[in-house]
Amino acid sequence: LSMTVSSLIQQHRALCSQLGHVKLKLLYKASIHGFTGAAFHQQCDFQGPTVSVGYNATGHIFGGYTSKPFNQSGQYVPDDRAFLFTFKGEALLKYQVINSNQAVKMIANSGPYFGESLVLVNGSQAVVYSNPGNHYNFPPAEMHGNNLQLTDCEVYQVEGEFSLEKPWRSIVWESEKRNELMNSIKTYKPINSSVPQARILLVGPVGAGKSSFFNSINSVFRGHVTSQAIAGCAGTSLTTQFRTYTVKAGREGKPLPIILCDTMGLEESTGAGLDVDDIGNILKGHIPDCYQFNPSAALHPEAHGYRSSPGLKDRIHCVVFIIDACKVSIMPTKLEEKLAAVHRRANFIGVPQLVLLTKVDEACPVVAEDLTNVYKSRYIREMAQEASTRLGVPLSCVVPVKNYCEELELDQKCDILLFSAVIQMLRFADNYFDDINDRSSSKKDIDVV
């Protein structure tokens, strides 16, 4: 479906040279799909970087570029690479974003919405909203000749933008590698002999894929897609208890040396979802399996089942934040604050942390096409960097994965990403045990002195 911009080849070339070595693939044409926000979003949401072009009866061709994918969150999305443009003959005139924190607004009832400066298909009408100044500055007469009636609007996916020349991480996708990773997990033993299994705590917002991650790991070791933990896409947490899940190597196999601990989702509002104070109790091993969470109050030491003297085997040995790659850039402030509070608590106790970036195939079209593109995707790398910044962990601690959700059969590429994530968790758990051993040997040295 690659097309020229309304057959105006020179303008098309000027846009492509401005963006680098790229191709433009038509996603939305208002005269065909309809001059509505709904039609625009249906065609263009989560399609990566785009160029939006408006046409009017006075012959002006104008629009904007954003490197961020469209969605319908109602929020501003930052983008320091965004710009508006118009054509003067065959020459491209460019107006760079001024307020990059509010470069694009994700409005359901409109077409492409660049800050508060330029909106195409505004309010689901064949009109332009134009207000240069705070977000982008441009002379209206030069931009669109003050003619705000659209004859058409087109949105193009910028194809070359997706892929990096070199992968940002190297990974082997062969079946031998899959088997090698699987065996490494099966034969893993915690370096501390008092601990039979590494306990991994999964934390994240509602719907990010915590329970789905457990189901996916379980599926891979069972040899078929299965669903033991309740997973879904409800607005409030489907997990209401503290659950610990042991994965078996096959249906009748031995338990693996890893326990995945599933919590309630961290919801945006106060008094809903997992209480951050409960996190401290979970990390220290005080909370028993099947403990029923109370979002408005943390567990008290007098409560039934409270483990007052937990051993090292009861504690959490690695915290894993599960974050939806589609929602990293639109993470609500309240949620970010809750995640930061968990991060601080884990740091204070000395528990290592990893970030799993889920739904990478939904976030980036080239990854949806082929999962092996995950480390070639410019967008996934940007989202990994953003998750690293927002959660305060190094980029090396951010691992992209794809959970099994709709599939009926296992996929080797999917398995390799999932296994790689589990291997990282086990390495981090070993770091924790090393740290505990170092501290106890230091204490012994002090006692001897």
At 425-445, the pLDDT tens digits run 999 999 999 988 877 666 544
Q: Which of 99, 129, 159 is the last residue of a domain?
A: 159
Question: Cα 185 to chain center, whole Å?
Answer: 25
Question: Cα 430 to chain center, whole Å?
Answer: 26
Q: Which of 159, 188, 223 is the last residue of a domain?
A: 159
Tens digits of per-residue pLDDT, 109-165? 999 999 999 999 999 999 999 999 989 999 999 999 999 999 999 999 987 656 777
29 lies in the same domain as 96: yes
pLDDT given at position 160: 67
Spell 157-193 as b/e; 16+ CB within 10 A means b: bbbebbeeeeeeeeeeeeeebbeebbeebeebebebe
pLDDT given at position 220: 93
pLDDT at 297 over 80: no
319 lies in the same domain as 195: yes
Q: Which two tokens stand for residue 368?
A: 């949806």
Numbers of helices and strands, H then E, in the chain: 12, 18
Maximum pairwise Cα distance, the chain: 89
Contact (CB, 8 A) for 241 and 268: no
139 lies in the same domain as 221: no
- Sign (positive or negative) of CA dihedral 359, 361, 362, 366: positive
Residue 377 pairs in a beta bridge with 163
pLDDT at 422 over 70: yes
pLDDT at 176 over 90: yes
Q: Which residue has tokens 């991060």?
A: 343
235 lies in the same domain as 362: yes
Contact (CB, 8 A) for 203 and 321: yes
Tens digits of per-residue pLDDT, 69-83? 999 999 999 998 899
pLDDT given at position 92: 84
Which of 137-141, 191-195, 289-293, 315-319 is predicted with the least confidence, judged by mean pLDDT? 289-293
pTM of the model: 0.69
Residue 337 pairs in a beta bridge with none
pLDDT at 296 over 60: no
Q: Comparing C-alpha atoms, which of 435, 439, 324 is closest to residue 390?
A: 324
pLDDT-based confidence at 303, cuts 50/70/90?
low
Q: By residue range, what is the domain housing residue 150?
A: 1-159
- Of 445 and 36, the one with more pLDDT: 36
Contact (CB, 8 A) for 293 and 206: no
- Sign (positive or negative) of CA dihedral 341, 432, 328, 76: positive
| 51 part of a folded domain | yes
pLDDT given at position 301: 62
Q: Which residues, in sequence order, are CB contacts of 235 under 8 Å at separation 6+?
A: 206, 207
Tens digits of per-residue pLDDT, 316-370? 999 999 999 888 877 888 888 888 989 999 999 999 999 999 999 888 777 888 9
129 lies in the same domain as 201: no
Rg of the chain on CA atoms, in Å: 25
241 lies in the same domain as 350: yes
Mean pLDDT of 247-257: 85
Q: Which residue has tokens 């996934």?
A: 380
Q: Number of folded domains in the chain?
A: 2
pLDDT given at position 330: 74
Which of 18-27, 86-95, 381-390 is predicted with the least confidence, judged by mean pLDDT? 18-27
pLDDT at 269 over 60: no
274 lies in the same domain as 371: yes
118 lies in the same domain as 185: no
442 lies in the same domain as 347: yes
pLDDT given at position 108: 95
Q: What's the mean pLDDT when you consider all of the chain?
A: 84
Query: Collapsing DSSP states into helix, strand and coil, what is residue 182?
Result: helix
Tens digits of per-residue pLDDT, 208-232? 888 889 889 999 998 888 776 554 4
What is the domain-level CATH number for residue 182? 3.40.50.300
| 165 part of a folded domain | no
The strand pair at 318-324 and 353-358 is best described as parallel
Q: Which residues, in sequence order, are CB contacts of 283 under 8 Å at separation 6+?
A: 201, 315, 316, 319, 345, 346, 349, 351
Q: Which two tokens stand for residue 370?
A: 């082929």
Mean pLDDT of 300-326: 83
Contact (CB, 8 A) for 231 and 243: no
CA dist., res. 251 & res. 226, Å (int): 11
Which of 110-124, 265-279, 299-313, 387-401 is predicted with the least confidence, judged by mean pLDDT? 265-279
pLDDT at 234 over 50: no
Contact (CB, 8 A) for 62 and 144: yes
pLDDT at 394 over 80: yes
Q: Which two tokens stand for residue 65?
A: 């570029």
